[in-house]
Amino acid sequence: MIFDMAENARAGWDRFPRWARSGLAAAFVLLTFGAIGAFAEGFLRWVSSRAQDLGRSDLTGKVAHIWGPGLIVGLLVGAVLIIFHLVVKRTGHPSASPLDRLRKVFVRTRRANRFRRSLFQPLRQWSLLRSVLAMLVVALALVGGAWWLMSILLGTSDTPPQSVEITKVALTIAGGVGASVALVVAYRKQRDTEANRFVERFGAAAAQLGDVDPAVRLAGVYAMATLVDDSPKSQWQQQCVDVLCAYLRMPHDPYSHNNLVEQTRTHTDESDGNLSISDQYRLRYNDNEVRNTIIRIINGRLQPNTEPSWSDLEFDFTDATLQDANFKTCVFNRCVKFDGAKFFGAAVFMGTRFKHTANFTGATFNDYAVFAQDYGSSTPIQFDEAAWFVATCFKKGATWDHAIFGASAAFGSPIKTRPNRTEFQESVFFRDVTFTEQVNFDGVRFGGTATFSDITFGSTTMFTPILEDPPEPVEFMGDVSFREVNFTGRTLFRSAVFHGRADFTQCNFEDTTEFTNAQFQANVDFEYPAFRRSGDFQFATFNGTATFKDPLAWEGMIFDWNDDFSLKPSNVYPIDWPPQ
């Protein structure tokens, strides 16, 4: 009932003209600060009179000289705040206004709800008797603390209490007990009312999502989203979001979405002797619009500075079918899972912020994938925690542009955890990307052109094989460019296979670098390189021309012909070795 009254009051407030709302707000501020000042003055006058009755004339004088009329002081403070608020809004920086800051505190109901949940969570779990006893303990502590403070401030009297005073105290205690019981019962009644209302609305929205008619399913999507916005508890919000994500995980064929299709899916149950099990299911028709609506709603609720926001909730898109997935400028504060997800149409992650773990393990991008900055606001895509792209398949092109990986990034793994390895079937571009911690490309297969431009590898970089029998090395099927890349940590290209041309021009290798057993089947360029600690090319194979020209640093270099210059291949330049 309280929330309904608040919603009705807010709706009525919005009907007023803007000038009327501004005037009423100013009057409210003035009255509030005036009332606070008047109350403070009245309290201090009472303290003064009480001190005078107890013979504390020194305290009476201090109060009388320090505090003036509280009402006037409160009105002046309110007026100053209003004037400052108007001046700040005129300068174009309304967020700096103190009144706007107060307004934002009340608007951000999520923080208030979080505080309320943490405050009353024990009462939800306790019995009625324990809750009442807890309230009594709190009340006695407050009364005792206030009595102790007043006794220090005003002093105490040694006069023995009269029977009338004892009766008053007893009645006060009895009234406090009754009030505590009434408060706990009223709170629990309100809580149960909210829970019942949520269950009713949740059941109705879920029933709509399960309807055959796509129009009814659309209504269910909006009803479930509204329930997320209205729910005061985060667990209720998470429950609604889980339902929307589960809808996207249901079987779906984007190419036959207009027809009612029955399909059979066969899988093997290893726990029952590899028994083959067939699941038959019916795909929903005209389901694309319903799914796209869910994605649009999620995108809108995950935008920065959006109220209400869903950024503090978890999203599980495991094995989901996502068509034209647009997560542009979304902010994920919690873990997000795209394990095994299937993307149809362009997958857009421009300016997206992942503040927790982002898991794309086993995902399949059937069309172009964009992990780039938002070019409108120049906001980079950012992974604050670990990012996983192990065993991910990119069937079309993929781009990482102006990306920041604040923690480890895994595009491959030295241990095979899935049947397939990460594969870029067409061109892939990494431009202006910062890898702060270790990055793994173990066993990755680059089927087309691979471009690494203006990249900073801040820690260990691994292009090493998957430890299988036989090992699965990193393969560059097309041309690859690492031009002007900065490798600040240990760099490993062990057993990497370069089928096309490899360009390492002006690369900076700050730490140990290994190309042991690497296979360069076409030309490779190491022009103006800087090997500042060591570079190991033992057992490397150069089938094309290999050029090591004008190195900026050439420390600790190891080749098969270090001890026997006659073993140097004729296709490795310069002729005069080592290069100067």
Digit-by-digit pLDDT tens for the chain (580 residues) are: 444 444 455 445 555 566 565 666 666 655 665 565 555 556 556 656 655 555 545 444 444 444 445 445 555 555 555 555 554 444 444 444 444 544 444 444 444 444 444 444 444 444 555 555 665 566 666 556 655 555 555 555 555 555 555 555 555 655 665 666 666 677 677 777 888 888 999 999 999 999 989 999 999 999 999 999 998 888 999 999 999 999 999 988 887 655 544 555 555 555 555 566 655 555 677 889 999 999 999 999 999 989 899 999 999 999 999 999 999 999 999 999 999 999 999 999 999 999 999 999 999 999 999 999 998 888 999 999 999 999 999 999 999 999 999 999 999 998 887 778 999 999 999 999 999 999 999 999 999 999 999 999 999 999 999 988 789 999 999 999 999 999 999 999 999 999 999 999 999 999 999 999 999 999 999 999 999 999 999 999 999 999 999 999 999 999 999 999 999 999 999 999 999 8
Q: Is residue 175 part of a domain?
A: no
Counting the structural domains of the chain, the total is 2
- Chain mean pLDDT for the chain: 80
The model's pLDDT over 448-477, given as tens digits with 9 standing for 90+, comes to 999 999 999 999 999 999 988 789 999 999
pLDDT of residue 37: 57
- Tell me which amino acid residue 6 is: A
Q: Are strands 331-332 and 275-283 parallel, antiparallel or unpaired?
A: unpaired
User: In sequence order, which residues have a C-beta less than 8 Å from that of residue 295 and are 6 or more positions away?
Assistant: 248, 322, 324, 325, 326
pLDDT of residue 560: 96
Q: Is residue 577 part of a domain?
A: no
pLDDT of residue 33: 54
For residues 544 and 522, what is the distance between their CA atoms, to the nearest angstrom? Answer: 4
Give the structural domain span for 393: 320-560
Q: Confirm if 356 and 366 have CB atoms less than 8 A apart.
A: no
Q: Is residue 544 part of a domain?
A: yes
For residues 89 and 107, what is the distance between their CA atoms, to the nearest angstrom? Answer: 19
pLDDT of residue 141: 66
Q: Is residue 99 part of a domain?
A: yes
CA atoms within a 13 Å half-sphere pointing along the CA-CB vector of 67: 22
Q: Is residue 469 part of a domain?
A: yes
Question: Which of 79, 107, 135 is the last residue before a domain boundary?
Answer: 107
Q: Confirm if 561 and 539 have CB atoms less than 8 A apart.
A: no
Which contiguous run of DSSP H or E holds residue 293? helix 288-301
Q: Is residue 86 part of a domain?
A: yes
The model's pTM: 0.70
What six digits make up the tokens of 20? 């009327």
pLDDT of residue 286: 80
Q: Is residue 340 part of a domain?
A: yes
pLDDT of residue 112: 47
Q: Confirm if 411 and 444 have CB atoms less than 8 A apart.
A: yes
pLDDT of residue 150: 53
pLDDT of residue 88: 46
What six digits make up the tokens of 414? 């030295």
The model's pLDDT over 28-71, given as tens digits with 9 standing for 90+, comes to 655 665 565 555 556 556 656 655 555 545 444 444 444 445 44
For residues 14 and 451, what is the distance between their CA atoms, to the nearest angstrom? Answer: 54
Q: Is residue 251 part of a domain?
A: no
Instruction: List, in sequence order, every residue forming a beta bridge with 461; answer none if it has no partner.
Output: 439, 491
For residues 50 and 41, what is the distance between their CA atoms, to the nearest angstrom? Answer: 14
pLDDT of residue 52: 59
For residues 67 and 50, what is the distance between their CA atoms, to the nearest angstrom? Answer: 16
For the chain, state the CA radius of gyration. 35
